[in-house]
Homo-oligomer: A and B are copies of this chain.
């Protein structure tokens, strides 16, 4: 980030991002046109599309950073940890480091509000799920490497990641529909649900 040009670009990008997330979370995603976002930052619509391939990409730019952080966290986990435990700890690291990662671009609170917007907007939810699937693929590869396996020959890394991802999805969804919108709230829910998966799969649900 040296030259004036580069600084200017960075500023435009962040301004577009902030304007986009701000409008998405207040007015709604579908109700916000790309023209609205561009106008808010006083650039042309064409310029918006030079920074983001599409409207959706702007919505997930921050999430992108968070996911990269999470994948890196998995990669950093000590190799003696069992796969599921590594995923568990990495996710918690993710929640703990979220503020730091996000705050450099937008206020955490805005990002958390965006999270809920995603859950309540069908097209965004669809995009989110596809992106999650991509992230899961990356993580499966990391796990496979840790364990010295070939992802394409052994289904276990992908299976484990998919199962874990399923739990995370339920967590996100329940959090976004509850009334505790804090970072601590979703962290707690993560811990709680991960504890309950095992029993939920093996033990009877009746007469607790």
Contacts and interface: CB of A to CB of B under 8 A. Distances in A.
9 contacts: A125-B130, A126-B130, A133-B169, A149-B205, A156-B196, A159-B166, A160-B200, A163-B163, A163-B197
A129 interface: yes
A169 B162 contact: yes
Contacts of A125: 130, 133
A148 interface: yes
Interface of A: 82-84, 122, 125-127, 129-130, 133, 147-149, 154-160, 162-167, 169-170, 173-174, 192-193, 196-197, 199-201, 204-206
Contacts of A149: 205
Contact of A160 (B133, B156, B201): B201
